[in-house]
Amino acid sequence: MQASSMAQNMTMALGMQDIYTASTTQLLPLGSKVELADGRRFVYGKAGASDLAYGKLAMTRATNANHQDEVVAASAAVGDTSISVTFGEAVAANLFAGGYLHVNDDTGEGQLYTIVSHPAGTAGVIVQLGEKIRVAVTAGSGTVSAIKHPCQDLIISAATAGPPVGVPMVTIPASNYGWFQSKGVASVLVAGTLVIGQRCNQAAGGAVAPNAGDILPDCGVVLQVSATTEYALIGLDVLGF
């Protein structure tokens, strides 16, 4: 069976979006995964404000300091399903929906919760959680941090440490949803001189480059080389969330 047909049959059978299409509508939870019989794995994500070209590595955005170590505006008791947070800047409604909130300091620290929804605002924003509060959080004592789902608002990878998510099979227009390959044989843009059998790292412009140690995220093993600015076959292996 052709790989594309295999993918179509698998995704249609599961009520999913085909891996070779983009959609203006979210059809699956962000971070959903599918694996084909040949070992290629894909994760479902959303493009940010710019198109994401096929064959180019996409990464999650850097976190915003105004969403980290934020004040708990009102105490949350065990069993509560929401928490009141004062952010360092105004946040749009449901900016973090589908993402995560964790208590990073003092009472309740170390607990992670999924975010269902929240209104727009800055002070006293009521964040609805997907689970009940397990350890009480005290206003003025505990602090929390919020983050979008790592597969939301993806951008082309840069030569800075931003976690890679995967490589799309088709161009995914800005604000559209689609699948990103995170594992298996993949055709990826090249920057520099790759060597068969050696590891490669994330580079600027959605490319992979020769291994540079632990400075940038590792992306997998080179299976077939091509000249810089061309596309090579990579045994891709990125986090993919």
pLDDT single digits (tens) 153-186: 999 998 776 789 999 999 999 999 999 999 999 9
pLDDT of residue 80: 97
Identify the domain boundary among 114, 147, 180: 147
pLDDT of residue 65: 87
pLDDT of residue 14: 47
pLDDT of residue 12: 43
**Are 53 and 157 in a shared domain?**
yes
Which regions of the chain are under pLDDT 50? Answer: 1, 3, 7, 9, 11-14
pLDDT of residue 13: 38
- pLDDT tens for residues 81-103? 999 999 999 999 999 999 999 99
**Are 75 and 42 in a shared domain?**
no
**Are 84 and 184 in a shared domain?**
no
**Are 162 and 119 in a shared domain?**
no
pLDDT of residue 15: 53
Question: CA 88, CA 216: separation in Å to the nearest integer?
Answer: 29
pLDDT of residue 140: 85
**Are 54 and 69 in a shared domain?**
no
**Are 139 and 157 in a shared domain?**
no
Within 13 Å, how many C-alpha atoms sit on residue 237's CB side? 9
Look up residue 84 and give its amino acid. S
Identify the domain boundary among 147, 163, 183: 147
pLDDT of residue 161: 62
Domain hosting 188: range is 3-61+153-237
- Count of structural domains within the chain: 2
Identify the domain boundary among 147, 177, 194: 147
**CA 220 to centroid of chain Cα atoms:** 18
